[in-house]
Amino acid sequence: MSNPFWDFSLSVYGHADVAAACLALQDRHGADVNLVLFCLWSGSRGHVVTDAELTHLMAITRPWQQDVIAPLRAVRRHLKAIEPAPEQLCACVKAAELAAEEAEQQMLFDDLAIIAGHGAPGLAGGNMTAYLTALGVGVEATDVADLAAILRGCYPDLPPLQAVWAVTG
């Protein structure tokens, strides 16, 4: 099944600094990278994600994150620490984790129909900041830098300072 959100995520995640910024938010605050990217994608399509939508999306993805993705991530990280690493097993676990991430993105895509519209960096940045706020995170300077890096993955021509402004509103 075609999922433009998944295609978008693969494209954005491949930009310099985006993966590191996403993983930093995940490790620092328990942020769901798929929800960060969904907020970015929604804003890039002109949709402002409401507090009610965020609460709903967090509720439907939390069990999948806790019961499927987090255990796969833990196994993958554990295997990476083993010397010599069992490469074939590492590759299988990594592929399973990626498939679980794609399944969650399909869940998000199917649940909240986002119609293509005219997006803007401010909308996308505001959506991502709203997600961190919904997590109960007081958005600090490090978070702003990570969100700006993620935003620039979507808008590569956006100057860094404008990306910060788009995130801080």
What is the pLDDT at residue 153? 95
Instruction: Provide the pLDDT for residue 1.
Output: 58
Q: For position 144, what pLDDT does the model report?
A: 95
Q: What are the tokens at 52?
A: 């009610």
Mean pLDDT in order along the chain per 10 residues (169 residues): 89 93 95 97 94 96 96 92 86 94 94 84 95 92 95 94 91
For the record, the structure tokens of 105 come out as 């993105």
Q: What is the pLDDT of residue 105?
A: 95
Nearest Cα neighbor of 76 from 68, 37, 103, 13 is 68
Domain boundaries, the chain: 4-168
Q: What is the pTM of this model?
A: 0.93
Asked whether the bond before 84 is cis by omega within 30 degrees of 0, the reply is yes
